[in-house]
Amino acid sequence: MSSLAVLAGVPTSTISRIESGQVEPTLGMIRRIALGAGYHLHLQYYDLFSGKLEDHVVGATAAERASEAEDDPDR
């Protein structure tokens, strides 16, 4: 737990409170923890105003984003 906190740049107590369910992390905190653990975050959401399905990849390299785009024929 403490090594993840260091990698994510957050206090160990924050990780502990998230794990125990005492707090619900913000999307920004989830992003920091995911990147600290070596993962990337892929968000997909429906934009109510434009009517489009949106994708947002955080922490992926350019090569990973290109590979994901090739795998998705709708892009």
Contact 51, 27 (CB under 8 A): no
The mean pLDDT of 47-72, rounded to a whole number, is 69
40 φ/ψ sector (left φ>0, alpha ψ -120 to 50, else beta):
beta
Q: How far apart are CA 55 and CA 19, in angstroms?
A: 27
Contact 12, 20 (CB under 8 A): no
Tens of pLDDT along 5-59?
A: 999 999 999 999 999 999 999 988 998 898 888 888 888 888 889 989 988 887 7
- The pLDDT value recorded for residue 67 is 54
- The pLDDT value recorded for residue 70 is 57
Q: Residue 21: how many CB atoms within 10 A of its CB? A: 7
Q: Which amino acid is at 9?
A: G
Domain ranges of the chain: 1-38, 40-75
